[in-house]
């Protein structure tokens, strides 16, 4: 891999580090190619990596991602600022193991289908203003009617992100799955839903129907859209995968330890 590009967070440290990595790779004969890179180096935090992935969503199968975290420890990034020399050496001398993570495809429907959206971590259908009523279907079979703030659908990678903050299960990386977790569910005699996270096979289509998604937000990774006028949101495994270049063996348990 020799055609590279760099995405940096906007702070000075990340920008300077990005410039430094760029100059060193150019010096070693690599080609800076922002149009059709083979590898994208993200410099910043997990948010920067998510940004980079979404920026390249239309060419996601052609590019692999690797990250340096500046500031607090990142979960999607493998190298610390102090390890830039190691990163340059790994990039220029080693063949990486490629970890593929499927994206969640999000389809929205009113009287017609809208273009799909994609998420690496999760999709959240959430209304913080009034109680949201959502009918949940798994592969078109009715499961339940949820009432509360909303529902979060995450993949394995996103299991440690927002999902973990709402008491969802952490899913190990060798287990591809979709997880549905309630956000402030209302539970009493007249309002019954599972009340616990539900983990399903990645081939399950999770359909979330509502009579009204007025004032409801669909948040997906760091992005969001309003759902006014929409009455159906379906989450499923996409054919698109994000490829992470792993040059070093960091066990998943080591990664988990960085979270607590
Ligand atoms: P951000 O980039 O500031 O990230 C928020 C936190 O989530 C950071 O600490 C980041 O390191 C962590 N994070 C992101 N992806 C992760 C992953 N896969 N595993 C473990 N930690 C992860 O926030 P943003 O730009 O608003 O949103 C991006 C992502 O941040 C969202 O996809 C969401 O999962 C996560 N997030 C989490 C919370 C929460 O836990 N309450 C709140 C907002 C956003």
Secondary structure (DSSP) of 111-166? SSBPPPEEESSEEEEE-SSS-EEEEEEETTEEEEEEEEEEEEEE-TGGGGTHHHHT
Does residue 8 contact residue 44 with C-beta atoms inside 8 Å? yes
Does residue 17 contact residue 68 with C-beta atoms inside 8 Å? yes
Task: Report how far ligand 1's centroid is from the alpha carbon of 51 (Å).
Answer: 12
pLDDT of residue 75: 86
Mutate to test the pocket of ligand 1, among 162, 250, 254 (most ligand atoms within 8 A of CB): 162
Task: Report how far ligand 1's centroid is from the alpha carbon of 221 (Å).
Answer: 8
From the CB of 202, is ligand 1 less than 6 Å away? no
Q: CA nearest 185: which of 108, 121, 119, 125?
A: 125
From the CB of 75, is ligand 1 less than 6 Å away? yes
Q: Does pTM surpass 0.85?
A: yes
* Residue nearest (by alpha carbon) to ligand 1 atom 32: 221
* Residue nearest (by alpha carbon) to ligand 1 atom 3: 47
From the CB of 163, is ligand 1 less than 6 Å away? no
* Residue nearest (by alpha carbon) to ligand 1 atom 44: 162
Task: Report how far ligand 1's centroid is from the alpha carbon of 162 (Å).
Answer: 6
pLDDT of residue 155: 98
H-run or E-run covering 16: helix 12-27
Does residue 251 contact residue 257 with C-beta atoms inside 8 Å? no
Task: Report how far ligand 1's centroid is from the alpha carbon of 112 (Å).
Answer: 32
* Residue nearest (by alpha carbon) to ligand 1 atom 13: 161
Measured from the CA of 164, which atom of ligand 1 is nearest? Answer: 40
To the nearest 10°, the Cα dihedral for 55, 51, 127, 135? Answer: 60
Locate 172 and state its tokens. Answer: 């190990």
The answer to whether residue 46 is catalytic is: yes
To the nearest 10°, the Cα dihedral for 213, 185, 197, 75? Answer: 70
Measured from the CA of 73, which atom of ligand 1 is nearest? Answer: 11
Choice among 33, 46, 78, 203 that is catalytic: 46
Tens-of-pLDDT digits for all 260 residues of the chain? 689 999 999 999 999 999 999 999 999 999 999 999 999 999 999 999 999 999 999 999 999 999 999 977 678 999 999 999 999 999 999 999 999 999 999 999 988 889 999 999 999 999 999 999 999 999 999 999 999 999 999 999 999 999 999 999 999 999 999 999 999 999 999 999 999 999 999 999 999 999 999 999 999 999 999 999 999 999 999 999 999 999 988 889 988 998 88
Residue 134 has a CB neighbour count (10 Å cut-off) of: 23
């Amino acid at each position: 891999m020799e055609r590279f590009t760099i995405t940096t967070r906007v702070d000075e440290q990340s920008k300077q580090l990005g410039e430094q990595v760029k100059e060193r790779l150019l010096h070693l004969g690599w080609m800076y190619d922002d149009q059709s890179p083979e590898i994208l180096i993200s410099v910043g935090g997990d948010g920067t990596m998510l940004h980079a992935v979404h920026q390249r969503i239309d060419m996601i199968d052609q590019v692999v991602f690797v990250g340096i975290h500046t500031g607090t420890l990142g979960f999607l990034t493998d190298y610390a600022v102090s390890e830039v020399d190691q990163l340059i050496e790994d990039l220029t001398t080693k063949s990486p193991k490629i970890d593929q993570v499927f994206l969640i495809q999000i389809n929205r429907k009113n009287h017609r289908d809208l273009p799909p959206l994609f998420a690496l971590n999760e999709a959240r259908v959430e209304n913080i203003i009034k109680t949201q009523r959502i009918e949940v279907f798994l592969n078109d079979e009715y499961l339940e009617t949820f009432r509360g703030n909303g529902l979060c659908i995450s993949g394995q990678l996103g299991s440690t992100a927002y999902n973990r903050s709402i008491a969802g299960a952490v899913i190990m990386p060798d287990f591809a799955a979709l997880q549905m977790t309630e956000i402030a569910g209302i539970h009493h005699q007249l309002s019954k839903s599972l009340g616990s996270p539900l983990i399903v096979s990645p081939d399950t289509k999770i359909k979330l129907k509502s009579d009204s998604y007025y004032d409801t937000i669909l948040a997906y990774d760091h992005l969001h859209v309003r759902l006014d006028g929409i009455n159906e949101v379906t989450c499923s495994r996409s054919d698109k995968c994000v490829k992470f270049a792993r040059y070093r063996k960091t066990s998943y348990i080591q990664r988990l330890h960085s979270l607590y």
